[in-house]
Structure 1
Amino acid sequence: MTLQLDRTPGTVSSAHRDFLAAVGERLGQAHMAFFATPVAESGETVWSAHGRDSRAFADLDPAGREAMRRYAGSVISDIRRVAEGEDGVIRRHFAVMRRIPSLDCLYAVDGRAVVTRWGTAEAADPLGALDDGRPFVIRQGFPKLPPRLLSSALAGTAFGFLIAALMLRAMPLTPACAVAVRPAAVDLPREKWRSHDLSMLKGCWHRISNMKTQDIVTGAKTPVREWTFCFADDGMTGQQSLYYSNGGACRGDIATRFDGDILVISAERCIDKARHSTFVRTIYRCTRDDDQRATCPGYADDPGVPSPSPPGVGVFQRAGP
């Protein structure tokens, strides 16, 4: 049956349909099924998938979330290698189509990963961080020929091939040609984290999970389209920016320090004057996950919050190119 996983305002472009069809034709239905099908409905886009059961990424246990990340990384890596090695629709659109607002767009559908809102994020690229980095490999060989032409060619040149085979016995085999791949970036070096060197934070970082804020009075949740921390060269100060899906935006100052091996980010109130809303003062306590990511639970630390609430946990990674 068809499961409706997500719904977004507006409709997607024809490029989405072209890309999806190209993935199915080149890589098969399994890769195509990783992408939820976007369907226009009453000025909105419904993202759907075939299956019997679905669970949101945030509702999975840690092992389940890691399995979804591995599945997504495998699919994205396969498509990226095709984009590197072959000209066509996949190459033209891959860089845009793999971008999603956050890992909240991942769903487990009958045990496999399905992604919604693909091709709709302007800057965030959480799927790119899951790529295995292995290069596209060109295997050298004879070009494909139609069967009848191939049989004629083989019959007419058998003797020539025999002579060539004798000559080539002493020659080394031609190696496969590999497209060079850049090593994975080390954005959070273990040594700098252990030595509490804040300069490693220089630049901007994207939040890639739990992309919602909640009204402390009504409990209503508002999706965040883009959520960033941008730090000065020394990493000690910077700015938090939130861009909401409803068009709202706010910015507020941040300051950093280490508490043992916990990176503490103190974020002042983030005020959206146009919509008369405020993201309260928050203390983030971040732990290093790996060379690219950190997990940062956020604790409200604001007189406007009537009582303590459970922390909102988000994962941050370096902003993509």
Structure 2
Amino acid sequence: MTDYSLLDLVPVVQGGSVAQSLANAADLARHAERLGFTRYWVAEHHGMSGIASAATAVVIAHVAAATESIRVGAGGIMLPNHAPLVIAEQFGTLDALFPGRIDLGLGRAPGSDQIVARALRRTLESDPNAFPQDVLELQSYFADDGKTGIRATPGAGAKPELWILGSSLFGAQLAAALGLPYAFASHFAPDALDQAIGIYRRDFRPSPALGKPHVMAGFNVFAADTDAEAELLASSQQQAFVALRTGNPRQLPPPVPGYRETLGPQGARILDHVLECSAVGSAATVARGLAAFVKRTGVDEVMVASAIYDHAARKRSLEITAEVMREMKKAV
């Protein structure tokens, strides 16, 4: 039985503001909670005018305070940007405020370019290859096992649910070795999806945190009452991806009719590849796309992602997605 969750990059739309994006995030999380989504995650990105979730722990607190039962967390925290002690304190605080509801997904990408990474860290001496050691240090603070010689306050004894994130084989190997749940970023980096899931399941070692493999994978859903309307809604994220890949990230633009046709065959192929794990259309179309994805991967959870310019249309997309997933569960 496949659960469904939501990844929200807290998009800042053209003509909008960060304040409005954060208000929308809380409203969207409440909506997802009512619809039965398992968890709501935000991601750490820096230096991007179209994403308002840079202060990830603060946004998580804002959303968790606006909801009651849905799990809220980071998908993820880019650990090379931070001292593990700082993250232990932040998520120890969140766990104290919202016990049993906080997730902490950990990644090793910078979530920014090199200039912004230098501003975040002051130096680039922190080594992304030290990510496994940083994860172990963070676990030690939560376990309060004395291995670091430091007691995290808050943090010691906190129990946020730890996840390893990835878009390559590295994260799969680490999650398997540590016995942690694994989330793959197939919503924008689909190439290694099947191989990574296979390695994770093959090499998984049970741990006190998790007895058997648990896989989540990202999947873009743009749902509407008709295929044509959904195609139009999807053009905002398509434009945003093209802008990002051409070195010109910007705020989320309004939809443009026939946008794909303006790219030419080569541009359309590139976009189709990046957004390979997507379903765009009415409920019937989305159901076929989601069913094929779940059958292909056998994931335990689908992490739905979608950047839609109009907030009401985005909420409607989630309603359709939730109904599709409920019907899929009934059919199992």
**TM-score for both structures, normalised by structure 2:** 0.23
Give the helix-richer structure, 1 or 2.
2
> 1 or 2, which has the higher strand percentage?
1
In the superposition, the TM-score normalised over structure 1's length comes to 0.24
Q: Which has the higher contact order (CA 8 A, sep 6+)?
A: 2
